[in-house]
Amino acid sequence: MRLFILAILTFGVFASNDDLWHEWKRMYNKEYNGVDEAHRRNIWEENVKHIQEHNIRHDLGLVTYTLGLNQFSDMTFDEFKATYLREISHASDMLSHGSPYEANDRAYPRD
């Protein structure tokens, strides 16, 4: 029953994304050429769908937090990750691969 309600609510929410798309572009000062506009809008719509479905699950008490649009909503997660995130070396990697250490000949005073 919950999935049926979720499906009905989702369909109604997705009925008009055109105004939201233009308002989002204005808010975040986004401009695209013709081909890129269609591509970015498609990604944005997928992200909006994910956000709306998640927030409906929040309203039903199935998750504890909400999601929202931001300046990255026209990017896939892989694009976001490649642009803004970096790999973090784990301590276990450093132990197995070694960590370079170069000794110097400096003497430091003892306290």
Q: Which residues contact 30 (CB under 8 A, 6 or more apart)?
A: 24, 40, 74
**Average pLDDT value over all residues in the chain:** 83
What backbone torsions phi and psi does residue 99 show, to the nearest 5 degrees?
Answer: -125, 125
Indicate the pLDDT class of residue 91, thresholds 50, 70 and 90: low
User: Within its chain, how far is the Cα of 57 from the centroid?
Assistant: 18
Give the mean model confidence (pLDDT) for residues 85-96: 69
Q: pTM for the full model? A: 0.66
Domains and CATH numbers, the chain: 2-85 (1.10.287.2250)
Phi-psi region of 99 (alpha: psi -120 to 50; beta: other; left: phi over 0): beta
Instruction: Report the pLDDT value the prediction gives residue 34, as an integer from 0 to 100.
Output: 86
Model confidence at 86, pLDDT cuts 50, 70, 90, reads confident
What pLDDT, on a 0 to 100 scale, did the predictor assign at position 64? 98
Rounded-to-10 torsion of CA 86, 77, 56, 48: 130
pLDDT at 5: 47
